[in-house]
Amino acid sequence: MSTWMIVEDEPDIYALLLAMFDVWGIEGIAFVDGEEAFRWMDDVERGMPLKEPPELALLDVRLPGEIDGTQVGGRLRSRAIFGDPVIVLITAYRLSNEDERAIRAEAGADLLFYKPLPDLGALRTALESTIAKRRAARQAPPVTLPELPGSGGAANDGAADTTAPARPTEPTAPAPVQPDTTSEDG
């Protein structure tokens, strides 16, 4: 059974998500604010048994107290003990594109949803798709680039590569600017 984490202060959303996780066969762990989530993370880091790290964390951006959802996400993302969870931020507040990028970066978030959340079927599809992408990325073999001619590969026998680097091309000069010969009197 997979474990998903919720940090949400709105009781209706909190209860609905936990109920849906149960229906979907997902174990839910839930917290009502960032402080409670941090206390749980502290306990885990001190050795509290953890069946498995959460595969997904659904975090409200704005929470009561001093610790918000982006801070919870950042801490989850930075500690190996919590694995590599998908981090999804949710908020009822409209953000500028710049603010969206900033909070997603701070939390290490994969997704951001605005409230009201999508219907539960669409939400589940989006979350499971993002989890599948993260799993695939973890399992992908490292990319090996092909050897380029003269790059000193295996045929080089350890000798220094004496191939001169290609010369950079000179930038082309910009087209000359033609003076404006039209006049307003004209």
- Asked if residue 44 has pLDDT above 80, the reply is yes
3 state SS for 156-182: HCCCCCCCCCCCCCCCCCCCCCCCCCC
Q: How many CA within 13 A on the CB side of residue 26?
A: 21
Whole-angstrom distance, CA of residue 112 vs CA of residue 62 = 13
Do the Cβ atoms of 6 and 32 come closer than 8 Å? no
Angle between helix 69-78 and 34-45 (nearest 10): 20
Of 47-51, 64-68, 140-144, where does mean pLDDT reach its minimum? Answer: 140-144
Q: Which residues contact 21 (CB under 8 A, 6 or more apart)?
A: 4, 27, 28
Tokens coding 169:
């091309």
Say yes or no to pLDDT of 172 above 50: no
User: Residue 49 has which token pair?
Assistant: 């048994």
Question: Per residue in 100-138, pLDDT tens?
Answer: 999 999 999 999 999 999 999 999 999 999 999 998 888
- In this prediction, residue 151 carries a pLDDT of 56
Q: Judging by beta carbons within 10 Å of its beta carbon (0-12, 13-18, 19+), is residue 72 exposed, middle or buried?
A: buried
Of the candidates 87, 89, 90, 68, the one whose C-alpha atom is nearest the C-alpha of residue 78 is: 87
- 6-139 maps to which CATH number? 3.40.50.2300
| CB contact set of 4 (below 8 Å; sequence gap of 6+) | 21, 26, 27, 28, 29, 54, 55, 56, 57, 58, 127
Q: What are the residue boundaries of the structural domains of the chain, listed by start?
A: 6-139
pTM: 0.74
Query: At 164, is the pLDDT very low, low, confident or very high (cuts 50, 70, 90)?
Result: very low
49, exposed or middle or buried, with CB in 10 Å at 0-12, 13-18, 19+?
Answer: exposed
Residue bearing the bigger pLDDT, 140 or 65: 65
pLDDT at 89: 98
Closest CA to 126 of 137, 114, 138: 114
Dig out the tokens for 67 from the structure.
């610790």
Nearest to 56 by CA among 89, 16, 78: 89
